[in-house]
Amino acid sequence: MAESAARSTRIPQPSSPAGWILVGLGAAGFAYLLYAPVLLLESFLRTLGGVFMFATLALAWNIIGGFAGYASFGNVVFFGLGGYTVATLMAKAGWTFWPALVVAGAVGVLFAVLMGLPILRLRGHYFAIATLSVAEGMREIVVNMPSLTGGGAGITIPAVGLEATTSYPGNTGFYYFFLILLLVALAVTWRVSRSRFGYSLRAIHQDEDSAAALGINTTRAKVAAFALSGLLTALTGAIYAFQQVTIYPNRLFSIEFTVLMVVMAVIGGTGTIFGPVVGAVGLQFLSEYLRQNYLELHTVLFGAIIILAVIFLPNGIVESARELRSTKRIRFLDNVKANRL
Amino acid sequence: MEQFLQATINGLLQGGLYALVGVGFSLVWGVIHVVNIAHGAFVILGAYVAWKLDGAFGIDPLLGLVVAAVLLFVIGYAVQRGVINLVINAPIWMTLLLTFGLELLLVNGLILIFTGDYRSIATSYASGGLSFGDVRIPYGRLLAFGLAVLLTGLLAMFMSRSKTGQAINATGMDRVTARLMGINARHIYALTFAISAALAGAAGTMVGIVGTFNPVDAGVFTLRSFVIAVLGGLGNMWGALAGGIVLGLVEAWSGQYLSGTLIHAIGFGVLILVLIVRPTGLLGRPYSEARAET
């Protein structure tokens, strides 16, 4: 664990020729994404929006899980809270979307701090289990508060007609919402990665006691990382809820979202800037392909893919690509040897 | 008062069954340091094995229980030896993801084969019961409780008396030193996981005898296992029994006063509280300290 964290602190050199090529490709790709709505089918825009959404979720998980090394298995709680904040404010209080979105973000931060202060004292599996329980418990609470949340039958945001407080942005609108949020998440991750705060988190990941001994306020750093993760996740959940119009607690607090965030970050590369995005793009398209071609089997296949990825790509695609560049080969079996008993 | 007494007895008996569900999970977490998210799927798999044997060949569920346990033992050994052992030194979210992948595979595989319909294993004896005034004790639940206590006791005795049990304990405490003492850690890990899966299979059969099950229930059993393992302290057999009974009682009592699925929230509330206040569990934890785990 310490070893992988140490490797992830290596920052790509933007001054090298390969770095400039990457920057150029990135700029071209970005320009394409901006114009994409003009060029592409509506249905494909929706798929792309989903990819951006999961990339943002994976980046948000990466801050607490990848940088700080705290394996949150309940990040979906922020997603659900963000979504339900927007839905409740728009459906029951007649708010418009934008102020509701701001409140959703605030709820995410507040809940992360309140939940993080006691729970971030736990380490390893205990933290994972505690976060998972908070998410599951929150779902049950939302189910059992039908007057406010609509309960298990769901809640519908007024999106059309006279009832609508904010006109429905459609596929193109949500495409841009998710794209902007992804860029924000990337910028935040990039900033964190190079800041003193980011190095504190990496130090905590490698050895928390030593980090504390070096004068890092570990509690503050961990809670801040959790709050940042919660903020981005809650904002994503808020936009997702508006896109879905009708939301259900079993969907919005689904453990599947948490697992997807973690899987995408892990497959791409935890503790890196682009890893979670790479993982999200790869896995979303793969999942979409499986869903279309193997309707019944697709969840089973997905389970098998997770197992294989964990065994053979434990360092993630980004790290493996770097390895490929420097040693001209990917050592799948060496990865296995490093982690096996 | 009678209602309360009945709820208490139901909770106590149900708690015994929960203990059987959770004890193997606790063992694996304590010894191998793996949180097996697929544990609930093993429970359900056991239930389907006994159900199928009963339905297709008319084999009595109590014999089916033995078959289910043996089959799950073999599967568990293979899974640990062939798959989980490969990522044992990776960061913890890797093993969590791996077992989640396994859960997806098993649960959706079971749905494909048996559909998502609710099933139950019908027996001639489970429906009868003892009556004391208005309080009733169904035989099926009594049997499940007795079996849970028996198996937990046998496991505790195996762990403390037998050489293999002591090897498992030693490996859980310090794998490196255990290997230096000539213990084959790969085999011990696989054996521990196999025992856990076998107990899950036995528990699943009893779940099928006293009530209904379907593949999607797997998640609920895994979550209950979390609660039981943490309440009881990891790798602590009698602790798991105590944890199971506490969970059964809390669920039964809160079911009297709370509506619907809110009792699950109570379970999670208890779990989070115990984690924060007393992470070593009710009866303490024999292995390393919870907060120092890396």
Please write the tens of the pLDDT for every residue from B156-211: 999 989 999 999 989 988 888 999 999 999 999 999 999 999 999 999 999 999 88
Closest partner CB to B269 (pick from A132, A137, A300): A137
Contact indicator for B63, B57 with CB cutoff of 8 Å: no
Q: Which structure tokens are listed for A143?
A: 């189910």
Q: Which residue has the tokens 């990891």?
A: B234
Give the pairing of strands A155-156 and B129-132.
unpaired
The DSSP string of B171-182 is HHH-HHHHHHTT
The token pair that represents A154 in the structure block: 């769901």
In angstroms, the CA B62 to CA B140 distance is 11
Query: Model ipTM?
Result: 0.83
Flag whether residue A183 sits within 8 Å of chain B, measured between CB atoms: no
Can you give the residue ranges of every domain in chain B?
2-125+134-292
CB burial class (10 A; 0-12, 13-18, 19+) of residue A286? middle
Q: How far apart are CA B98 and CA A332, in angstroms?
A: 17
Q: Which amino acid is at B263?
A: I
Confidence of residue B284 (pLDDT cuts 50, 70, 90): low
Residue of A111, A115, A117, A129 to mutate, interface with B, max B Cβ within 10 Å:
A129
Angle at B70 between CA B69 and CA B75, to 5 degrees: 95
Q: How far is it between the farthest Cα atoms of chain B?
A: 61
Average pLDDT of the residues in B132-147: 86
Q: How far apart are CA B36 and CA A265, in angstroms?
A: 21
The model's pTM is 0.87
Across the interface, do B97 and A300 touch by the CB < 8 Å criterion?
no
Cβ neighbours for B188, distance < 8 A, ≥ 6 positions apart: B164, B167, B168, B171, B178
Residue A141 exposure: Cα atoms within 13 Å on the Cβ side: 14
Q: Which amino acid is at A23?
A: V
For A121, the token pair is 């004292």
The residues with which B213 forms a beta bridge, in sequence order, are B119
Contact A48, A243 (CB under 8 A): no
pLDDT, residue A4, reads 46
Distance separating the N- and C-terminal Cα atoms of chain A: 15
> Could you give the CA distance from residue A280 to residue A276 in angstroms, rounded to a whole number?
6
- Tell me the H-state helices in A40-96: 42-61, 76-92
CB contact under 8 A, B97 and A310: yes
Model pLDDT for residues B246-260, shown as the tens digit of each residue: 999 988 888 887 776
Q: Are A105 and A82 in contact (CB under 8 A)?
A: yes
- From chain B, the residues in CB contact with A341 under 8 A are 85-86, 88-89, 185-186, 189
For residue B164, what pLDDT is reported? 94
Q: Please count the other Cβ atoms lying within 10 Å of the Cβ belonging to residue B280.
A: 18
Given CB atoms, is A310 within the 8 Å cutoff of chain B?
yes
Write down the pLDDT at residue B279: 64
The residues that bridge with A247 in the sheet, in sequence order, are A155
Q: Is the pLDDT of residue B143 over 70?
A: yes
Amino acid at B83: V
Residue-level pLDDT at B280 = 65
Q: Measured between CA atoms, how close is A13 to chain B, in angstroms? A: 27
| Amino acid A151: pLDDT | 85
- Residue B24 in this model has a pLDDT that exceeds 90: yes
Run of H or E including B132: strand B129-132
CB contact A3 to B (< 8 Å):
no
- Inter-chain touch B92–A305, beta carbons under 8 Å: no
Instruction: With beta carbons less than 8 A apart as the criterion, state whether A298 and A284 touch.
Output: no
Q: For tokens 């196999």, name the residue.
A: B194
Domains along chain A?
2-339 (1.10.3470)
pLDDT at B281 over 60: yes
Split at pLDDT 50, 70, 90, the class of B44 is very high
Q: How far is A171 from chain B (nearest CA, A)?
A: 31
How large is the average pLDDT for residues B125-151? 84
Predicted local distance difference test score (pLDDT) of residue A335: 73
In terms of DSSP H, where are the helices of chain B? Answer: 2-32, 39-57, 61-82, 92-114, 139-161, 163-173, 175-180, 185-210, 218-232, 237-257, 262-277
CA distance A125 to A182: 29
- Across the interface, whether the CB atoms of B262 and A340 are under 8 A apart is answered no
Token look-up 């980046």 returns A59
The residue in chain B having the minimum alpha-carbon distance to the alpha carbon of residue A69 is B91
Specify burial of residue A172 (Cβ count, 10 A radius: 0-12, 13-18, 19+). middle
Mean pLDDT by 10 residues, chain A (341 residues): 45 63 82 79 87 96 94 94 96 92 97 94 86 90 88 88 82 93 95 94 93 93 97 97 94 90 90 92 89 86 88 84 79 76 79
Residues in chain B with CB shorter than 8 Å from the CB of A307 are 83, 98, 101-102, 105
Taking alpha carbons only, the member of B288, B40, B294, B23 closest to residue B155 is B23
Q: Cα distance from A295 to chain B (closest Cα, Å)?
A: 11
Q: Tell me yes or no: is domain B2-125+134-292 CATH 1.20.120.
A: no
pLDDT of A236 reads 97
pLDDT for position A336: 77
Cα distance between residue B10 and residue B14, in whole Å: 6
Check pLDDT > 60 for residue B289: no
